[in-house]
């Protein structure tokens, strides 16, 4: 739990001061994405939540596609 919280804090707080040091928004953004990915991998509840969200998003896409198919 503590590792996930630390990585989340790193992803949220770190880019604001590192941007001036790195002079590159893409490098800071890449590091923030990496921190978030590691946090998801380390924290099983967060991983389960992300997986659930992806499944719901795909289901909503299928439902929308089916509904559009029925209309036309």
DSSP 5-55: HHHHHHHHHHHHHHHHHH--HHHHHHHHHHHHHHHHHH-HHHHHHHHHHHH
DSSP, collapsed to helix, strand or coil, labels residue 68 as helix
pLDDT recorded at residue 39: 76
Could you read off the pLDDT of 12-66 as tens digits, one per residue? 666 665 656 556 677 777 777 887 777 777 777 777 887 898 899 999 999 999 9
- Residues sharing a CB contact under 8 Å with residue 7, sequence separation 6 or more, in sequence order: 35, 36, 38, 39, 42
pLDDT higher than threshold 70 for residue 4: no
């Amino acid at each position: 739990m503590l590792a996930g919280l630390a990585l989340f804090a790193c992803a949220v707080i770190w880019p604001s001061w590192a941007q001036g040091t790195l002079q590159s928004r893409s490098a800071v953004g890449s590091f923030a994405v990496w921190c978030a990915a590691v946090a998801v991998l380390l924290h099983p509840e967060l991983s389960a939540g992300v997986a659930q969200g992806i499944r719901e998003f795909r289901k909503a896409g299928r439902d929308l596609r089916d509904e559009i198919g029925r209309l036309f």
